[in-house]
Amino acid sequence: MSAEVEIFDTTLRDGSQLEGISLTVDDKLRIAEQLDHLGITWIEGGWPGANPKDEEFFRRAATELKLTTSTLVAFGSTRRVKGKVDDDPTLANLVAAGTSAVCIVGKSWDYHVTDALTTTLDEGVAMVADSVEYLRGHGLGVMFDAEHFFDGYKRNPEFALRVLEAAAEKGASTLVLCDTNGGSLPFEVETIVGEVVSHFRNDVIVAIHTHDDTGCAVANALAAVRAGARQVQGTINGIGERTGNCNLTTVIPNLTLKMGIETIPADRMERLTSVAHHIAELVNVIPNPQAPYVGSSAFAHKAGLHVSAIAKRPDAYEHIPPDTVGNGTRFVVSELAGKATLKFKAEELGLDLDGKALGDVVDTLKRLEHEGYHFEAADGSLELLMRRAAGWEQEYFEVESFRVTTDELPNGSFTTEATVKVHVAGQRVIRTAEGNGPVNALDQALRLAIASCYPALDRVHLTDYKVRVLDTEKGTGAVTRVLIDSTNGDLSWSTIGVSENIIEASWLALFDSIVFGLLHTSD
Ligand SMILES: [Zn+2]
């Protein structure tokens, strides 16, 4: 097993295959900066020539990106069947991309050569050899990405190895073994990678590229490293086509913190959580709270009676100190929580709450939870409630009134408009905004009213809005619980509102979301 493993990020190419995401060139540049900040060795920027966006990315990256730890890689494929390398557009685009290294994909499963490319196995091998030779001839570092390697190796190991040998003989630095269909299991991967590594000795770097179709992408990468792989490919937050790719935010700490292998620079491990959240924001996916290491629930304890034990002996309840990866311990508070839990929560927030104030908070929590509040799911509102109990009052703005109207237009579509009257910085401000619904319209109007005083609000976005009707027996007369998730890119929080009136419930949650955002977002 190697003492050091290169991390190769493929978020910008493979990761962007995730349904529903579409990255602009600016998004891609911002993501690359985050990857560099984390200390990733290789960043695959995209496929120049496959779409104009990726071409523009490489063009702008050359002048706008100041990478200090990462190296940009252009992705492409081998030459066409029976084609010539000199007039192959894909290879020309790879050279034109201006990176020092490229990664080219080729077929290593005989079935794909005969049935997808409909050519001979010899031509399949020649396509790889010629292409690697051509790119090396242009002074580029070449990684060869052996597509469907594991499926191919299981059926025809001689051919799969012949393809790798051709790439290695022509000077490829790295042989990337891809589990393209994602169907492999760790023990198979460990055996096959072991065989490939011993076949090539230390002449080339063997890399592992896994997909999560069996839920084993991370486990498969670890198994490959145990068998001698020296490069791991994957995406931040595991995003990617179908079930996703090997999740770098899981595999990096597993390799370093559990297996003692050097990956990203040691002093940057604590950036992992914030980079994972920042990239989720740029890609516009909601961070998974249960993600290992970086999820908001990864070190959350719903403890009740055990809370003091956890606070005293965290290593008895947590597999690593959460700050190693930039995360933190969180005590989840609900009506079941006693004073002890709230006391720790108060300490976590740096609040000085004495016994009487704590008792009042417990009583208030119980009353509100009886009315339908659920603070376990609303850490933002809980924090504000505790701050208020400690004597704090928000002074950002004061709401005089608001109104929302929804009209049906003659063409059958609906339009919603909200007007908010607030006092902010000594001024009375009235603002009206349209939205695609009442919550959106209120959010827009409130932001318009106070934005000039609080530019930081620009970074605060609502990411999710959930409505639950609590007493279905009463039908429309029931109580409505609204939960709003928000983020400022670094921090995510949830706020809650409960009322018989859905607009009031939404407003309460929205109000807390904005106040919490102002409290925790600097300009
Ligand atoms: Zn892939």
Percentage of the residues of the chain whose pLDDT score is greater than 70: 97
Residue type, 201: R
Which residue in this structure is represented by tokens 């008792």? Answer: 359
- Ligand 1 centroid to residue 182 C-alpha, Å: 9
Q: Which of 490, 489, 485, 478 is nearest to 509 (CA)?
A: 485
| Partner residues linked to 232 by β-bridges | 7, 208
pLDDT, tens digit, for every residue of 434-477? 999 999 999 999 999 999 999 999 999 998 888 888 775 555 56
Query: Residue 304: its pLDDT value, please?
Result: 62
Task: Write down the H helix ranges in 52-109.
Answer: 52-64, 89-96
By the CB criterion, residues less than 5 angstroms from ion ligand 1 are 14
Residues in the chain: 523
Q: DSSP 3-state assignment of 474?
A: helix
Q: What tokens appear for 454 in the block?
A: 């609080």
- Ligand 1 centroid to residue 399 C-alpha, Å: 51
Q: Which of 47, 23, 189, 41 is nearest to 105 (CA)?
A: 47
pLDDT, tens digit, for every residue of 19-50? 888 888 999 999 999 999 999 999 999 999 88
Q: Which residues of the chain have pLDDT under 70?
A: 303-305, 334-338, 472-477
pTM (predicted TM-score): 0.78
Q: DSSP 3-state assignment of 379?
A: helix
- Ligand 1 centroid to residue 76 C-alpha, Å: 13
Q: Which of 40, 432, 73 is nearest to 255 (CA)?
A: 40
Q: How far apart (Å, rounded) are the C-alpha atoms in residues 310 and 303?
A: 8
Question: CB burial class (10 A; 0-12, 13-18, 19+) of residue 361?
Answer: buried
Question: For residues 142 and 135, is the Cβ–Cβ distance under 8 A?
Answer: yes
Question: For residues 374 and 366, is the Cβ–Cβ distance under 8 A?
Answer: no
- Ligand 1 centroid to residue 209 C-alpha, Å: 6
What is the DSSP-derived secondary structure letter of residue 287? P
Alpha-carbon torsion (71, 75, 77, 83), positive or negative: negative
Q: DSSP 3-state assignment of 209?
A: strand
- Ligand 1 centroid to residue 233 C-alpha, Å: 9
- Ligand 1 centroid to residue 237 C-alpha, Å: 14
Question: Backbone phi, then psi, for 433, in 5-degree steps?
Answer: -145, 155
- Ligand 1 centroid to residue 461 C-alpha, Å: 31
- Ligand 1 centroid to residue 269 C-alpha, Å: 25
Residue type, 325: V
- Ligand 1 centroid to residue 120 C-alpha, Å: 25
Question: Could you tell me if residue 210 is left (phi over 0), alpha (psi between -120 and 50 degrees) or otherwise beta?
Answer: beta
SS3 content of the chain, % helix, strand, coil (to 5): 45, 20, 30
Q: How far apart (Å, rounded) are the C-alpha atoms in residues 78 and 287?
A: 36
Pairing mode of beta strands 71-77, 101-107? parallel
pLDDT, tens digit, for every residue of 337-354? 667 778 888 888 888 888
- Ligand 1 centroid to residue 211 C-alpha, Å: 6
